[in-house]
Structure 1
Amino acid sequence: MPIDTLYRTRECEWIDVEAPTREDIQFLHERYEINNLLLEDTLDPNHLPKYEEDGNVKFYLLRESTELERKSLNTISDISTKIGIFLLDNTIITIHRMKTKSISETKKFINEDEKNFSSHSIALMISLLIMKSFDDESISLLETMDNIENEIFLKNTNHTTQIRRLYKLKRKSGLNSRVLSISTDAIDKFKLLNLQDSQVVDLKDKHKDVVADFDHLNTQITNLISMFLALSDQKANQVMKVLAIYSVYFLPITFIAGVYGMNFDEMPELHNKNGYYFTLGLMALIVIITFIYARRKRW
C-alpha cells in the first residue's frame, strides 16, 4: 500500500504506511532523515514493544491485539500486530503490516472533529485504542472461559476437547500478558511528550487496568485447569470405587466357587442332593451380609 497522508494542517501532518516495502523504508529514511535501524525494526513481525530516541526522532513500537485467529500460539505475532510511531517535531509517521482498528478509528475521529490535533495527541489516541484492543480481548477470553466452565460442570462434554480449549486459552492469555508487561516502559515514556499530565495518567491507568485484567484471567484459567483435573481424578476414583465394591461382593463367592471346583473325591456336600442349593444359598447370604456392612459403613 502506498504512503498515505491521513491528516494535514499547519500544525501537524500524519503520514501512514501500511505493509511497508523496502522502497517505502528507503523513502522515509531520505525524506525525514530517520535512522535506518529504527525503520528496520518496523519490518520485524515479532519485534517487542519499546521506546527509542534518536536526535529529534521519538520512536514508539507498540503492539495491538488482533482478532485474527491463529492455529499456532507460539509467538506474540500470533495474537498481536506491531505499530511503529515516529514523532518528528510536528509530524507523526505510523507504520504497520496490516489494517488496525487503532489507526482507522483515530483517522475517523480526527476527520469528524473540527479541532486541530497535534502529532503528540494523535499518538496518544492511537495508544489508548491499542490498550482498548487488549481490554476487548480480555473480555472475549473471559467469556470463553465462562462457557468452558459451564460445559465442564453443567454438561457432559468431551474432556479431551475441553482440556485442549483450556490450553489454548492459557497460551493466548499468557502471550497477551507478556506483550502488556513489555509495553510498560514504552507507555511510561509518553510523559516525555507535550501532553497534559492527566492525559498521560489516563493512558497509564488504562494500561494498568488491562494488565490487572489479564493477571486475573491467568489466575482464573490456572484455577479452572486445576479444578478440571481434580474433577477428572474424582470421576476416575468413582469408577474405581464401583469396581472395588463389585470386587468385595464377588471375591468371597468366587473363593467358594473355586473351592468346590477342585477335583477331589471326598468333598463336603459333593454327593449330597441339596449340596448345590446349600452352596448357592451360602453365596447369597455372604453377598447380603457384605451389602449390609457396606451400607452401614456408608461406602
Structure 2
Amino acid sequence: MVRKKLYRSKKKLGQAPGSVVYTGERPKEKLFLEAFDFTKDTYTEKQLTNIEDCFEYKHTETVTWINLNGLNHVNAIETLGKHFDIHHLALEDIVNISHRPKLDDHDSYLFLVLKMLYYNNSHNLVSEQVSFILGKNYVFSFQEAEGDVFNPIRDRIKNAKGRIRSMASDYLLYTLIDAIVDHYFNVIEVLGDKIEDLETDVFTNKSSDNLSIRIQDLKREILRVRRAVFPLREVISKIVKNETNLIQNQTSTYFKDIYDHLTQITENIELHREIIGGLMSMYLTSISNKMNEVMKVLTIMASIFIPLTFIAGVYGMNFKYMPELEFKYGYFAIWGLMVIVFLVLLFYFKRKKWL
C-alpha cells in the first residue's frame, strides 16, 4: 500500500499546478459515457460514443446526469472541462484518485469528491474515488472504472419512481450521494460480522497463526472507512448550511438526513475501532497467558528434577570411600528416596494450586 502511494505521488512530481495527470492503476480502462436526460414527463437514456456528444446538454431545460467511467482518458476529461468551463484544478483533482472528500464552490458549479465503498466478489473492501460536478441543470459523475452503487437511481429515473423526475439537479446529486452513504451501512454491517467472528475466536481460545494478521487487516479496513466518512461529514455540513446558491432550501433538508446518517456511521466506526483495539489486547493477553502456563509447567518440572538430579549427582561421584556404596540395598534406597521427594513436591505444588 505504501509503495502504491509513493508511485502515485511520483506521477505528480515536477508537474505544473493544474496538470491533469491520472494517478490510478487502470491505464487501459475503456471510456464509457452514459447520459440520462429527463423532465417530469419525459425521459431519454443514451450511451454516448465520444465526449463531444455531451456538449448538447449544456444549455437544455431538462435535467441531465452524465456518468463517465475511465479516468485514464485525461484528454476527454480536459475536453469536457473546457466546454463546460470547469477549472483546471478541479480537473486535476478528478484524475488524482488519492484525494480526501472535499467540496469546492465555483459559483457556476459545485465540485465534490468522495469515496464509494463496497465489498467485491472476493470479499475485499474497495474504495473508489467518485467526483461530482453540479451545474444548474446537470450533474457529472466521474468514476475510475465500471461498476457502482447507482443502479437503483437509474431505475428510479427510468420508471419515474419517487420525486426524482420532478426535482432539479441538486436533488439528483442528493440521491447519488445518498446511494453511496447507504452502502456505507452495508460496509459497517460486514465489519461488524467480521468483528463478531474474531471475538468468538479470541474468547474461545481458538488461537491460530493468522489471528493477529486478521485483526490487523480488519483494523486497516476500519481506518480506510474512517478516512472516507469523516471528511464527508464536513462536506455535507457545508451543503446543509446552504453556503451555495446551487442547493435549494428544500433540497438542503434532504442533505440533513445524509448528515444524520454519517453521524450514525461515524459512531459505529469509533465503536468498531475500540472493539478491535480491545480484541488485539485480549489476543495478546491470551498469548501471554498461554506462555505463562507453558513456563509454569516447565518451572514445576525443573523444580521437581532439581533435587532428584542433586541426589543422583551425589551418588554418581566416583569417590572410593562413600559409606552408602557398600550398603546392600543402597540402590533401592536411593530410588525410594527420589520417589518420596517427587511425591512430596507434587503434593506441595497441588496444595499451593500451582498444578
How many residues of Structure 1 are paired with residues of Structure 2 in the alignment? 293
1:63-82 maps to which residues of 2 (within 5 A)? 63-68=115-120, 79-82=126-129
Kept in 2: contact 1:79–1:176 (CA 8 A): no
Which residue number in structure 2 is paired with residue 98 of structure 1?
145
1:166-205 maps to which residues of 2 (within 5 A)? 166-191=215-240, 192=242, 193-196=247-250, 197-205=252-260
RMSD: 2.1
Match of 2:188 among 126, 129, 138: 138
* SS of residue in 1 equivalent to 2:37: strand
For 1:33 and 1:255, the matched residues in 2 are separated by 93
Which residue number in structure 1 is paired with residue 198 of structure 2?
148
Which residue number in structure 2 is paired with residue 19 of structure 1?
70
- Greater shift in the superposed pair: 220-229 or 109-118: 109-118
Letter in 1 for 2:89: L
- What do residues 50-96 of structure 1 show as CA deviations (whole Å, max 9, x unaligned)? 0001131111111111324899x9xxxx7411111111111111111
For 1:262 and 1:275, the matched residues in 2 are separated by 14
Which residue number in structure 2 is paired with residue 89 of structure 1?
136
Kept in 2: contact 1:79–1:172 (CA 8 A): no
Structure 1, unmatched stretches of 5+, are none
The alpha-carbon distance between structure 1 residues 2 and 101, as it changes in their structure 2 partners (threshold 3 A), is: closer
For 1:170 and 1:238, the matched residues in 2 are separated by 29
- What do residues 130-185 of structure 1 show as CA deviations (whole Å, max 9, x unaligned)? 11222111111111121122223336442x21111111100111121122112222
For 1:253 and 1:155, the matched residues in 2 are separated by 36
Letter in 1 for 2:33: I
Q: TM-score, normalised to structure 1's length?
A: 0.91
For 1:90 and 1:123, the matched residues in 2 are separated by 11
Q: TM-score, normalised to structure 2's length?
A: 0.78
The alpha-carbon distance between structure 1 residues 7 and 33, as it changes in their structure 2 partners (threshold 3 A), is: same
Identity, in percent, stands at 25
More helix by percentage: 1
- Greater shift in the superposed pair: 97-106 or 205-214: 97-106
* SS of residue in 1 equivalent to 2:216: helix
Match of 1:239 among 283, 287, 294: 294
For 1:165 and 1:69, the matched residues in 2 are separated by 19
Match of 1:164 among 188, 209, 213: 213
Structure 2, unmatched stretches of 5+, are 1-30, 40-60
Kept in 2: contact 1:79–1:175 (CA 8 A): no
Which residue number in structure 1 is paired with residue 333 of structure 2?
278
Q: Does 1:49 align with 2:79?
A: no
Which residue number in structure 2 is paired with residue 30 of structure 1?
82
